[in-house]
Amino acid sequence: MTIPDNIKPYLDRSVAVLGYGVSGRGLVALLRACGIWYEVYDEYNGEARHSEFDEGRAKQHGLVLYSPGFSKDHRWLVNARNAGCRVLGELDFASLFWSGAFVAITGTNGKTTTAEFLSFAMKRIGMKAVAVGNVGYPVSRLHEIGNYGATTAVCEVSSFQSEAIEYLRPQALLWTNFGEDHLDRYDSMKDYFAAKWKLVERLARPRFIVGRSVAEYAVEFGYTLPSFCQIVDVDEQNDLIPVGSCFNSYPQRENYLIIRAFWQQEGLSLKALEEAACQFQPPRHRLGLVQTIGETEFWNDSKATNFASSLAALKSFDRPILWIGGGKSKGGDVADFARSVGETISKGYLIGESAGELAANFMQNGVDHEVFTELEDAVAAAYKDAKGRAIVLLSPGFSSFDLFSSYSERGIRFEKAVLSLMKQSHARKSKECAVTSEKSQ
């Protein structure tokens, strides 16, 4: 592979890779493919060669690459800058090696579904496309697919990735929405917005589509949307969403309409997009029906790791909701969130680090609730309380990292708990049928 001129001056010494998770491993694969010497540092992953990166270590390197989990003021990055190192994030560095088209997808919610559906729709009409970035397949792995020029990278970009980009030049930017999130990392909503706005500043051509909330926050924070920006308003275009597709539910409507606007600007067949929408199945743990036991429906929305996504899910139902929520806080106004949730649900079943704070707010507002140490106990209690056509909804509104390794593990645990209840229900019915049969003989 050809090494970009931008980084050649820093390769007289080994490259430092900070973090050895998905992004770090992608960086290692890319560096190996380029024949570049590197050292890996990770404080928690024992597979990394080093667990500490002080200024002395930093001075041994010219180029330092880091995973999205490192905030700009992380002590390791501070050490790198103090040592005079060139510091780049995984996405920014990897983009230097990509010559194909690049569509950036960002937003507080809906990024993964939007990226995966756009890639899916492109492939259905014969285009070469791949969903990358925050979806779990890092941009640093793109070199493995080859045929760069003919492939479109549809990249989910988080604020953690966009906040310090210098080289990435997306040909299009789709910004789904904006709401309260990551306030444990940013000092304010304005700072969080600014981290995403970096993508606007790096656009390579006039392809910029946003949801209504993005436009409203841009005005509030003093940003001027470029003249070519298209604003999508879901209330005005609801009739354009294909009937029977997964995009008919509340959180997904805006995602489809933003993709539709992009698709139309690119001159692609709208009929083909509608057909793709009817075939597409969204990724797991995003407001999906798990099972129906009797009249009770169990819905898994474990990916709802912030207030906006959880509140959006709650708006999707017109039946009594037994809400399972809570987890590790990412900052924000928990009291306001609890008040909004309390106005929507029949009862709350609270788990994780934030359970106590949520419970205190529910108590103050007269909202029925219980606190649980295990997710499975919360699921069982909600099912026991369910009456008639009720909804048991896992849509936590908080990060999973207090009790689980990821939102995926949390969602899987929820699904397994529901499956266990279903088996118990079937066993109970079989026993009742057997008793009835004996009595009738």
Token representation of residue 305: 């790791």
Query: 152 among the known binding-site residues?
Result: no
Q: Which residues pair with 231 in a beta bridge?
A: 210
Give CA 2 to chain center in angstroms: 32
306 is in an annotated binding site: no
Residue 218 has phi, psi (to 5 degrees) of -60, -45
**Residue among 38, 95, 30, 94 at smallest CA distance from 64:** 38
Q: Which residues contact 34 (CB under 8 A, 6 or more apart)?
A: 1, 3, 97
Q: Is 108 annotated as a binding residue?
A: yes
Alpha-carbon span 201 to 120, nearest angstrom: 27
Q: Nearest-CA neighbor of 313 among 256, 251, 247, 254?
A: 251
Terminal CA-CA length for the chain: 80
Side-chain-facing half-sphere of 307: CA atoms under 13 Å: 22
Q: How far apart are CA 317 and CA 109, in angstroms?
A: 19
Tell me the CB-side half-sphere exposure of residue 148, using CA atoms within 13 A. Answer: 16
Listing DSSP states for 10-24 in one string gives: GTTSPEEEE--SHHH
What would the two tokens of residue 108 be? 């507080």
352 is in an annotated binding site: no
Pairing of strands 321-325, 347-350: parallel
Query: How many Å apart are CA 153 and CA 157, to the nearest integer?
Result: 12
DSSP single-letter state for residue 193:
H
Residue 436 marked ligand-binding: no
179 marked as binding residue: no
β-strand 347-350 against 288-293: which pairing, if any? unpaired
Can you point out the beta strands (E) in 228-287? Answer: 230-232
- Name the residue among 312, 302, 341, 317 with its Cα closest to residue 389: 317
Cα–Cα nearest to 313, from 322, 324, 304, 325: 304
Instruction: Give CA–CA dist 385/415, Å, rounded.
Output: 18
Question: Has 45 been labeled as part of a binding site?
Answer: no
Q: Binding site for ATP: residue ranges?
A: 107-113
Q: Binding site: residue ranges?
A: 107-113
